[in-house]
Structure 1
Amino acid sequence: MSHTVLLVDDEPFNLELLAEQLEDAGYRTVTSGSGEDAWRRLNEDGASYSAVLLDKMMPGLCGVELLRRIKDSPRLECLPVVLQTAVSSAASVQAGLAAGAFYYLAKPFTREMLLAVVGAAVGHRDRLAHLKARSGQQADALQHLADARFTLRTHGEAQKLAALLAHACPQPGRVATGLFELLVNAIEHGNLELSFEEKARRQDEGTWEAELEKRLAEPVRGGRRVTLAFERLADRLRFTVSDEGRSVDWQARRVRQGEGEARGRGLLIAERPAFDALEYRGKDNSVEATVFLAAD
């Protein structure tokens, strides 16, 4: 399947370099020199893009404001946006991720890092589209679901369950992403005992998938389950995610900063764009996410 990436940067040289690297890797690219032009293109034909690679600092409509517009649009909210930034401070990165960015690239970045992040972004878009098509038929039935309890072990199971239950919510695209991230963090950093630092290192080395499969095959860590409890209350939906790993405070799994890399990206995505409230339960390996329902 061919993927088209929208490149947004006010520097022509940067656009040319990014387009060349991505097209050599098999992507189609469309370039835009301003936030205003990019917003126009997205409004005209947003469905044609698999991802957006967006410079954060631009005159006029800046990258963060364009990102907010994308995430506030029901038609575009599931489109993954990767921010490029020369300012890789913790506050800058957190602001971008909290606004809904899929990931960020700290300049200067290598071709390998560019392709890895863009590949993850378009893969995420493909999975959401596939799962949305599969779970859409159950959307009406989910409105009558009062409470349920599920257990899972793998990323694939997390994807399917997150996409399904998200359709019980007013904005399923946002909730699906946030719920999936909470489940993945419970699997990886809870049950499989992977630190943020080791995950980042193995991703850089290209050994991440092999390590994940190795740990899932182990009798102890691989046999642990993540539990997801769903409750429908009068004015809200509640999702509670728990793991069977060591008793580690969920707060400790939140975003950290080191060597210019953000740790715990998934938890930050879940905190603001996906849910109306998120409560970490101390050292009980549990997190409670809430989605408010509109009053009738």
Structure 2
Amino acid sequence: MPHKLLLVDDEPFNLELMSELLQDAGYETQLAENGETAWDILQRDGEQFSTILLDKMMPGMSGFDVLKKIKAEPRLEFLPVIMQTAMGAASSVQEGLAAGAFYYLTKPFSRDMLLAIVGAAVGHWDRYAHFRELANLHVDALRHLQTARFRCRTHREAQAITALLAKTSRQPERVATGLFELLVNAIEHGNLGISYEEKSQLIAAGTWEKELENRLQAPEYSDRQVALEFDHQGHQLQFTIEDMGDGFDWAYYQNAEPASLMTCHGRGILIARKLSFDSLRYEGKGNRVIAVVNQT
């Protein structure tokens, strides 16, 4: 089945244009011309959607008001929301990201930018839905796991480890979303030495998957693994992830202005910190990160 998107904008022309572009790309869309209508739809059918494109400035219930309602509703809080705004000010972007927006699109935006960001959001939702399904399996014994060590090289291995360890938490899909992002960062940007700029260029050229596979098979990277240690102490779950790369300027990515994080990738740290973990701490040169979940 195609992914279903909810488009919310008080300008009918904008709605029709976005709907046409997204339907041509294979998405199913539903339209709402104001915040009140959008919230009614979400309350009734929110689980049907994979992503929301939400205009920030609307009369009555604004897009920001709708975003806050979504993030306060447990059924919907992980639904990716792409905010649209004509205001590119850092303070406006900061407000939306702090409230849980997945991304900001500044009008006017291109077709390619729209499709790239929607694709990233839908991919994020697919991973969340997959981990949610796995978490429903009855593996109660994992709630009693105290310590464990794992090693992985590939996305597939990282996904398997994530699905397993997420079941140690009372909110497995919450933990899974951030843990997988951190493991992917460790594999791609740590062990394989792919910079955020290189990944942008490879995605744009359509050669990202091929380059990832080539590096995994290259002799200089073949012995590199990501180590993950799990520790359950009292009411806390601690995940320590360490790669074999050269590290990075982790302070920049934790503290940078939100406007500088506006790419369709490179948001793993932001997602992990905002949505998944109660604390996130990088150490040393940046190839070691400690993520903590409170179980109280």
TM-score w.r.t. length of structure 2: 0.88
Separation in structure 2 between the aligned mates of residue 190 and residue 142 of structure 1, nearest angstrom: 29
SS at match of 2:179: helix
Counterpart in the other structure of 1:174: 174
Counterpart in the other structure of 2:196: 196
Deviation at 1:279, TM superposition (A): 1.2
Structure 2 unmatched runs, 5+: none
Instruction: Tell me the alpha carbon deviations over residues 85-143 of structure 1, each in whole angstroms, 9 at most, x when there is no partner.
Output: 33345554444334333333333222122222222322332333233223421452221
Counterpart in the other structure of 1:273: 275
> Residues 43 and 167 from structure 1, CA distance in 2 versus in 1: closer, same or farther, beyond 3 angstroms?
farther
Letter in 2 for 1:270: A
Counterpart in the other structure of 1:147: 147
Q: Work out whether residues 78 and 173 of structure 1, in 8 Å CA contact, stay in contact via their aligned partners in 2.
A: no
Separation in structure 2 between the aligned mates of residue 276 and residue 259 of structure 1, nearest angstrom: 23
Separation in structure 1 between the aligned mates of residue 90 and residue 212 of structure 2, nearest angstrom: 27
Instruction: Tell me the alpha carbon deviations over residues 226-270 of structure 1, each in whole angstroms, 9 at most, x when there is no partner.
Output: 112111111211111111101434324547579976263111111
Bigger mean CA deviation after superposition, 278-287 or 134-143: 134-143
> Residues 98 and 156 from structure 1, CA distance in 2 versus in 1: closer, same or farther, beyond 3 angstroms?
farther
SS at match of 2:293: strand
Counterpart in the other structure of 1:46: 46
Deviation at 1:285, TM superposition (A): 1.3
TM alignment of 1:219-234, pairs within 5 A: 219-234=219-234
Q: Work out whether residues 71 and 100 of structure 1, in 8 Å CA contact, stay in contact via their aligned partners in 2.
A: yes
Letter in 1 for 2:190: G
> Residues 250 and 46 from structure 1, CA distance in 2 versus in 1: closer, same or farther, beyond 3 angstroms?
same
Bigger mean CA deviation after superposition, 132-141 or 238-247: 132-141
Counterpart in the other structure of 1:218: 218
> Residues 202 and 62 from structure 1, CA distance in 2 versus in 1: closer, same or farther, beyond 3 angstroms?
farther
Name the count of aligned residue pairs: 294
Counterpart in the other structure of 1:293: 295
Counterpart in the other structure of 1:159: 159
Separation in structure 1 between the aligned mates of residue 207 and residue 6 of structure 2, nearest angstrom: 29
TM-score w.r.t. length of structure 1: 0.88
Q: Work out whether residues 7 and 52 of structure 1, in 8 Å CA contact, stay in contact via their aligned partners in 2.
A: yes
Q: Work out whether residues 98 and 269 of structure 1, in 8 Å CA contact, stay in contact via their aligned partners in 2.
A: no
Deviation at 1:35, TM superposition (A): 2.2
Counterpart in the other structure of 2:129: 129
Counterpart in the other structure of 1:79: 79
Q: Work out whether residues 98 and 271 of structure 1, in 8 Å CA contact, stay in contact via their aligned partners in 2.
A: no
Separation in structure 1 between the aligned mates of residue 219 and residue 130 of structure 2, nearest angstrom: 31
Separation in structure 2 between the aligned mates of residue 293 and residue 132 of structure 1, nearest angstrom: 18
Deviation at 1:151, TM superposition (A): 1.3
% same residue: 56
Separation in structure 2 between the aligned mates of residue 63 and residue 190 of structure 1, nearest angstrom: 37
Separation in structure 2 between the aligned mates of residue 99 and residue 160 of structure 1, nearest angstrom: 30
Moved over 6 A (4+): 257-260
TM alignment of 1:254-273, pairs within 5 A: 254=254, 262=262, 264-273=266-275
Instruction: Tell me the alpha carbon deviations over residues 155-198 of structure 1, each in whole angstroms, 9 at most, x when there is no partner.
Output: 22223322332232233332221111111111121111122222
> Residues 125 and 272 from structure 1, CA distance in 2 versus in 1: closer, same or farther, beyond 3 angstroms?
closer
Separation in structure 1 between the aligned mates of residue 116 and residue 286 of structure 2, nearest angstrom: 34
Instruction: Tell me the alpha carbon deviations over residues 202-248 of structure 1, each in whole angstroms, 9 at most, x when there is no partner.
Output: 22333322222222221222541111211111121111111110143
> Residues 165 and 35 from structure 1, CA distance in 2 versus in 1: closer, same or farther, beyond 3 angstroms?
farther
Counterpart in the other structure of 2:209: 209
> Residues 190 and 252 from structure 1, CA distance in 2 versus in 1: closer, same or farther, beyond 3 angstroms?
farther
> Residues 158 and 56 from structure 1, CA distance in 2 versus in 1: closer, same or farther, beyond 3 angstroms?
farther
Deviation at 1:292, TM superposition (A): 0.8
SS at match of 2:104: strand
Separation in structure 2 between the aligned mates of residue 163 and residue 86 of structure 1, nearest angstrom: 39
> Residues 172 and 68 from structure 1, CA distance in 2 versus in 1: closer, same or farther, beyond 3 angstroms?
farther
